[in-house]
């Protein structure tokens, strides 16, 4: 997949079928839309493309209520590349772009960069200043500019058969329901960061952990203990018992949640290296213990449960 940028190097090498969206998480609903784009491209002899943004548009138009992100831009592009698209066009979304009329976006980005002949979006898709752009506007402009438009109903899935959306997945994570979130993402929720120094208490307790420093805008599951996977820069995935919380046994007000991953059957130095952590199953809520020994005993049980959960899931 070739990554294009607007403004900048945004010209695709041939006419495209395209879809547009934030694609936060690149969940299975997004993938179904992209499948439709690829099908349209194959039928018409076009390239398949997705138009997305370098940040979530809400972070510009309503920053105080902008959602946490399921994927940063690098992970989003990696996931989009795995869908079989020919192009991803990344639009720099700033206040100037947010104020552009919807028609200008169509002319400059869809037609000017991608020479679109087919556009596939959700039926409730909105874009442009004050969200005035919609499927009807795209359809009208398409008649004049030479492209067809398909508006799709939202795909449903998971418990209750509700529409699949990034908002729904964030809500599931906030409940600690990482398994159901994974069923909608098509993979375990993954966060990325760098291993930072900690207070080394885990080593003293016999369970040395990697303290993973994360960007503030990334969506995290609810505080608790999870079974999951830790991926090192060499690509090797290791089973891990993951604690996400404020360490109430030792601190009454520890501020933001800390992610600590205990890698099973591993002894080595992880400080300063990039880490990818995947949440597979929620084991228990965060708890305060009356003594360090009580905490150690529970950690041993958590490790045993992690082995069982991940052993059933396989590597």
Distance CA 94, CA 7 (A): 11
Do 2-152 and 159-313 fold alike per CATH? no
Give pLDDT, residue 168. 96
Right CATH for 2-152 from 3.30.390.30, 1.10.3720.10, 3.40.50.620, 3.40.50.460: 3.40.50.620
pTM of the full predicted structure? 0.90
Which residues are within 8 A (CB) of 273 and not within 5 positions of it... i.e. 6 or more apart? Answer: 194, 195, 232, 233
Give pLDDT, residue 268. 85
Give pLDDT, residue 315. 43
Distance CA 62, CA 66 (A): 6
Domain ranges of the chain: 2-152, 159-313
* Pair 299, 286: CB distance under 8 Å: no
CATH of span 159-313:
2.40.30.30
Give pLDDT, residue 250. 46
Provide block-wise average pLDDT over 10 residues at a time, the chain (315 residues). Answer: 96 97 96 97 98 94 93 97 98 92 95 98 88 92 96 82 92 97 97 81 66 93 96 93 74 69 90 96 86 82 94 59
């Amino acid at each position: 997949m070739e990554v294009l940028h607007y403004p900048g190097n945004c010209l695709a090498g041939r006419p495209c079928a395209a879809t547009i969206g934030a694609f936060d998480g690149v969940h299975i609903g997004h993938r179904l839309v992209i499948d439709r784009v690829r099908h349209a491209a194959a039928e018409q002899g076009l390239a398949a493309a997705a138009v997305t943004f370098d940040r979530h548009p809400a972070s510009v138009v309503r920053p105080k209520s902008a959602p946490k992100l399921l994927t940063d831009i690098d992970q989003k592009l990696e996931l989009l590349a795995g869908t079989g698209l020919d192009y991803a066009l990344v639009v720099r979304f700033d206040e100037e772009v947010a104020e552009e009329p919807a028609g200008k976006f169509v002319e400059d980005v869809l037609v000017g960069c991608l020479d679109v002949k087919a556009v596939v979006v959700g039926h409730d898709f909105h874009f442009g200043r004050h969200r005035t752009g919609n499927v009807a506007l795209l359809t009208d402009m398409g008649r004049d500019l030479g492209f067809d438009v398909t508006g799709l109903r939202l795909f449903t899935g998971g418990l209750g058969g509700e529409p699949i959306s990034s908002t729904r997945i964030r809500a599931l994570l906030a409940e600690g329901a990482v398994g159901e979130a994974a069923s909608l993402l098509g993979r375990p929720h993954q966060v990325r960061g760098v291993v930072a120094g900690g207070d080394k208490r885990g080593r003293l307790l016999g369970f040395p952990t990697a303290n993973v420093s994360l960007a503030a805008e990334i969506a995290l599951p609810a505080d608790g203990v999870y079974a999951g996977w830790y991926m090192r820069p060499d690509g090797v995935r290791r089973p891990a018992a993951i604690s996400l919380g404020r360490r109430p046994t030792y601190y009454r007000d520890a501020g933001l949640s800390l992610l600590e991953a205990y890698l099973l059957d591993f002894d080595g130095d992880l400080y300063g290296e990039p880490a990818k952590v995947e949440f597979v199953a929620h084991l228990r809520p965060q708890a305060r213990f009356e003594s360090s020994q009580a905490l150690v005993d529970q950690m041993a049980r958590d490790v045993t449960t992690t082995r069982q959960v991940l052993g059933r899931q396989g590597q």
